[in-house]
Amino acid sequence: MENNKVIFNICKDSEFFGRVNEIERIYCYGASAAKSSYGVYLTGKKWLGKTELLKRVYHRLFWEQNKVVPVYYRFKDIFCNIKDFADDFLKDFIRQYIAFLKRDPAIVTEGISANKLEQLLTDMELHVLSRFLALHSEGMNYGDCAAVFKNAINTPYQTVALCNTPVFLILDDFNLTANIHLHEGGPGILKEYMKTLMSGSVSYLITGYTKGLLEGEPLPGSVRVMELAGLEEDASIGLMAGMAERYNVACDSEILALAARQLEGNPVYLKSIMEAAKRKGRSILTIKDFVDLYIEELAEGNMGVSLGSVLSIKSLNALRILHACVKSKNGISEEEMIEKALLDGGEMRRFISRLCRLGLLDTRCGLIKWVEDKVAEDYICYLYETAVRKRPAAEAKTKIIREKLKESFYLEGVRISGKIKEELPALLKMFNGQAIPKILFRNQDFLAKYNGNTYKKEDYVKEGEKVPLPQIVGCSNSMKYECADKGLTIIVGYGFNNSGCYNDENEVVWIVGVKDAPAATHIGDVENFARQCGAIMSNIKTAAVTRWIICKEGFTGDALKRLSIDGIYTTDTVQLRILRSLVEDNGNTTQPHDMKGLASLKEYEIILPMSTRAELVAAKAVEEIGINMGFDNNAVAQIKTALVEACINAFEHSKVKHGKVYCRVIAGDDRLVINIKNQGKDFDPTFKHETRDVVKLVGHSNRGWGIELMKHLMDEVRFEKVHGGTKLVMTKYIKKIGENVYERKN
């Protein structure tokens, strides 16, 4: 937003992500206040960006339409009495009203005095508002709190009625009105204010932390409830990635996605992590990088300070209460709590009531329950470990780090499951003779061996019996084979056993059933799958069929027994993650069963840093390899040029500071295979210029036709999307006599 149009301070546009739909929706509510009046209650946890969102709505209403007067007011915690609030609110309302009519935001931003306000009202002949100011002054002089309060909150309604200009009231942190009292010792003004809002002819939007704004009473049906959740994953990643680029923080998009899930899309937390990374000069390339930063921020950083201020835990007993709530899944009764906390009942109730208003505790249904907020939970646990259990800070942090690493690792696996259907075809096509531990295809064995521990890495599973994967050459989904009753999503992979013989006898088919739904595969699913497989197998001629079910949530006991009897492979998301990692690591290494084939393969790995001319190191190495293999000089030159091109493309598209490019060269009997892998942003390898005439391309840019160059120089070029980046695979065959290796392969 341009600086001269900003009325209420907002964060930079580059740090505000998502919320497009919410802003539009509320803007439309406001703009349509001219036609009818209604109320909206915007609810959401602290720090989700409600205030930022509303200020942006206000700016739009101020500048983009002229029919409805927008008024934004944020309740403050600092009001000691009703007179302070009434004075603040009334003057703010009048300033914003005049500012809108005069199209002069300075009236708001400069906070003009009461005298000047009166002068303006006189000049504009807004006698109605002058009268309210006069009544206010009179009430203040006489100390009549009730009159002052009623005058203030009724002013918008009277103004609308008398001036015939609609108003849209945005009352931010409305829940704080519960802390403003008409009389000392009396109830807060929240309920009475609500009555006024609902009775009048003014459209309004109020905000709070919990759905139960009226403390146990439901909101009237005339009030629309809008719930604001954390930022969506894409918006969270966008926010963090943008900050990473500005702050020069190296990061991995997959880890940012994980961070977004851990931090539940809370913009304040997301920004805190990035600012901490910048401050400490750290990167966020691995799960551990993120978890370390997170714990430090909680224990000693801004996140911890902010949470401490909000929770305002003033005693160890209060900490015990919170910790008990956090640890109890089903909630605790008040009696149990009084017993545990050793607190005075009144003091405890006040503490709990405050946390309920903040949306951290819920006392409906007679039990005190913690309302999920992972970050606050971790903070409370850390405080409890250090303050109550007296553990050293380092030990308390380590405990939480271990838990967070496990949780993050599991979340990584769960995320993969969301994309199983999309990524499975690409994974199947990477099957090329790798020998994969059988335990990754037998869920019950995997669970039995690892006791359901979901955070095992591939190093633990490499021993044991292996399954030789075929070479899958293509995939299809099973649309045309589907039974009337829909079962699992089926993907069929076609290929050959990796013996190098492409004949009928070696043809294989893998029928893979995928269940993404949040429920374990049960016996019904198994029977459906068996029927679907039957239909598919009746249409294909090959006898070598492997059946495999991948399920996000695992399998029931009965399903596993039946699947085991039927010889159907079973894999959950954790096994799948490990399997994918092993398949990717093996790359395109062909592993033919005959020993002669195995012995003739030589692999070389070069890791290139991002520095000038680093690609020449790889080029020199591949020159030696190529000459040894028997390529002629021209072919070697072609390979070198293609490799250099691939490396600079990988550097360019990595966009990860201090990233590396991994170059693997595999020298076989008849071919040289080069794998180039980078870290970071994927790039679209389908980008193609319509013309091959590079002179017609504009300027000194190298956009896209480097890929054409590689395809011209090598016999095969393909891209594979892999975890955390992109892999380029290039192959050059040794020329046989009479064969023209300069023919382009498309």
Partner 1 sequence: MSGKIKNFKELDGCVVIYTDNYLNDIEGGKLEDECDVFLNRGKKKIVIDFANTELVNSIGISILVGIMEKVKKKNGILFFSSLKKVNHDIFNMLGLAKYISIFQTEEEAIGKMLAHE
H helices present in 655-677, as ranges: none
H/E stretch holding 257 reads: helix 253-262
| Alpha-helix residue ranges (DSSP H) falling in 511-572 | 523-537, 557-566
| Cβ atoms within 10 Å, residue 453 | 12
Closest approach of partner 1 to the CB of residue 629, in Å: 17
Query: Least distance from C-beta 372 to partner 1, angstroms?
Result: 51
Residue 256 interacts with partner 1 (CB under 8 A): yes or no: no
Query: What's the rounded Cα separation, in Å, for the pair 293 and 301?
Result: 9
CA distances from 76 to 147, 189, 313 (A): 21, 14, 20
Residue with smaller CB distance to partner 1, 130 or 638: 638
* Least distance CB 545 / partner 1 (angstroms): 44
- Is the CB of 54 or the CB of 741 nearer to partner 1? 741
From residue 609, how far is each of 320, 357, 587, 593, 626 by CA, in Å? 51, 53, 21, 36, 23
**One of 164, 330, 686, 701 touching partner 1 (CB under 8 A):** 701
Q: How far is the CB of 638 from partner 1 (least distance, A)?
A: 5
Least distance between partner 1 and beta carbon 649 (Å): 8
Cα 501 from Cα 352, distance rounded (Å): 73
Measured from the CB atom, the residue of 278 and 712 that comes closer to partner 1 is 712
CB of 700 to partner 1, least distance (A): 5
Q: What is the CA radius of gyration of the chain?
A: 33
Cβ closest to partner 1, residue 15 vs residue 708:
708
678 φ, ψ to 5°?
Answer: -115, 180
Report the Cα 116 to chain-centroid distance in Å.
49
Please pick, from the candidates 366, 700, 738, 746, the single residue that binds partner 1 as defined by CB under 8 A: 700
Does 716 bind partner 1 (CB under 8 A)? Our answer is: no
- Of the two residues 596 and 613, which places its CB atom closer to partner 1 in the complex? 613
Nearest CB to partner 1, comparing residues 390 and 613: 613
CB of 574 or CB of 663, closer to partner 1:
663
Cβ 742 to partner 1 shortest distance, Å = 7
| Number of residues engaging partner 1 in binding (CB under 8 A) | 30
Q: Which is nearer to partner 1, 592 or 706 (CB)?
A: 706
**For 181, which DSSP code?**
B
Q: Which x/- pattern over 573-612 shows residues binding partner 1 (rule: CB under 8 A)?
A: ---------------------------------------x
Nearer to partner 1, 248 or 633 (CB): 633
Tokens read off for 720: 């594979």
The nearest distance, CB 618 to partner 1, in angstroms, is 11
Query: 592: buried, middle or exposed (CB in 10 Å: 19+, 13-18, 0-12)?
Result: middle
Q: Output 263 or 614, the one with its CB closest to partner 1.
A: 614
Q: How many CB atoms lie within 10 A of CB 323?
A: 22
| Binding residue (CB under 8 A) for partner 1 from 46, 712, 723, 735 | 712
Fill in the per-residue mask, 658 to 697: x = in contact with partner 1 (CB under 8 A), - = not in contact.
---------------------------------xxxxxxx
713 binds partner 1 per the rule CB under 8 A: yes
Q: How far is the CB of 665 from partner 1 (least distance, A)?
A: 17
Q: With b meaning 16 or more CB within 10 Å and e meaning fewer, what string describes 178-217?
A: bbbbeeeeeebbbeebbebbeebebbbbbbbbbebbbeee
Query: Among residue numbers 147 through 166, which ones bind partner 1 (CB under 8 A)?
Result: none
Q: How far is the CB of 111 from partner 1 (least distance, A)?
A: 55
Among the listed residues 264, 307, 292, 319, the one whose alpha carbon sits nearest the alpha carbon of residue 401 = 292
- N-term to C-term CA, the chain: 48
H or E stretch covering 489: strand 489-496
Q: Which residues contact 721 (CB under 8 A, 6 or more apart)?
A: 423, 426, 682, 727
Of the residues 216, 366, 699, 738, which one makes contact with partner 1 according to CB under 8 A: 699
For the CB of residue 741, give the shortest distance to partner 1 in the complex, in Å. Answer: 11
CB 90 within 8 Å of CB 138: no
Q: How far is the CB of 609 from partner 1 (least distance, A)?
A: 16
Judged by CB, which is closer to partner 1: 397, or 732? 732
Shortest gap between Cβ of 289 and partner 1 (angstroms)? 32
Name residues contacting partner 1, limited to 610-649 (CB under 8 A): 612-613, 616, 619, 634, 637-638, 640-641, 644-645, 648
Q: Which CB, 22 or 615, lies closer to partner 1?
A: 615
We find the least distance from the C-beta atom of residue 696 to partner 1, in angstroms, to be 8
- Closer residue to partner 1 in complex, CB, 215/652: 652
Q: Under a CB-based contact definition with an 8 Å cutoff, are residues 639 and 713 in contact?
A: yes
Q: Which is nearer to partner 1, 502 or 742 (CB)?
A: 742
Angstrom distance (rounded) from CA 43 to CA 269 = 19
Cβ at position 611, least distance to partner 1 in Å: 12
**Please, what's the largest Cα pairwise distance for the chain?**
109
CB-hemisphere CA count at 13 Å for 149? Answer: 17
Among 260, 491, 579, 709, binds partner 1 (CB under 8 A): 709
Determine the Cα–Cα distance for residues 595 and 599; give it in Å rounded to an integer: 6
How far, in whole angstroms, is CA 648 from its chain's centroid?
30
Nearer to partner 1, 274 or 619 (CB): 619
For the bound state, the minimum distance from the C-beta of residue 687 to partner 1, rounded and expressed in Å, comes to 13
Do residues 708 and 744 lie in contact, with contact meaning Cβ atoms separated by under 8 Å? no
SS3 for 373-408 is CHHHHHHHHHHHHHHHCCCCHHHHHHHHHHHHHHHH
- Residue 281: how many other CB atoms lie within 10 Å: 9
Residues, the chain, total? 746
Residue entry with tokens 């001036």: 163
Q: Which is nearer to partner 1, 175 or 638 (CB)?
A: 638
For residues 484 and 490, what is the distance between their CA atoms, to the nearest angstrom?
14
Spatial neighbors of 394 by CB under 8 A, at least 6 apart, are none
Q: How far is the CB of 636 from partner 1 (least distance, A)?
A: 9
Give whichever of 540 and 637 is closer to partner 1, judged by the CB atom: 637
- Contact string 439-468 vs partner 1 (x = CB under 8 A): ------------------------------
By CB under 8 A, name the binding residues for partner 1.
612-613, 616, 619, 634, 637-638, 640-641, 644-645, 648, 691-697, 699-702, 705-706, 708-709, 712-713, 742
